[in-house]
A = this chain, B = another copy of it.
Amino acid sequence: MSLVGRYVAVVGPADGARPTDLSHAEQVGRELAATGAVMLTGGHHGVMEAAARGARAAGGVSIGLLPGLDRAAGSPEHTYLLPTGLGELRNGLLVRAADAVVAVGCSWGTLSEIALARRTGVPLVLLDPWELPEDVGVVASDASAAVAWVSTVLRPHGH
């Protein structure tokens, strides 16, 4: 089952990422790439970089949408880096450009992306989120479960 041409955002903290967040993100990136998904991130270090590293290891592609104007500020693990100059408004751009969102860990920036995904109806799965209202969405038990959930959601109807 392939997700060729599907775009999945992996979001999560830069500075505050925990070791488990990083290993989760790398595995999510690797397994998403194996499905043929194009991965989108915020382009920075922490969870974003770990996910990009995973995608790269599996031969996949990641596009980082940076908040600032300097491409060199992005993590070189990404295949492509686009400076948006939108500051934190790039969080909304990232959610908007994605067919599904995987949130790994949490931070205030990540929470803004989770909230915007819920607000705009982009399918969302979470790994180790903060304590949030129960209906925040699907909380996956591990990276493989998160990717499996995304695959189900993005599977074309009737296949």
List residues of chain A with CB under 8 Å of any chain B CB: 7, 38, 40, 61, 63, 69, 71, 80, 82-89, 91-93, 96-97, 99, 107-109, 111-112, 115-116, 118-120, 130-133
Contact = CB atoms under 8 A, between A and B. Distances in A.
A93 B97 CA distance: 14
A108 B112 contact: no
Contacts of A86: 85-86, 89, 92-93
B97 A82 contact: yes
A14 to B, nearest CB: 11
A13 to B, nearest CB: 11
A80 B111 contact: no
Nearest to A76: B5
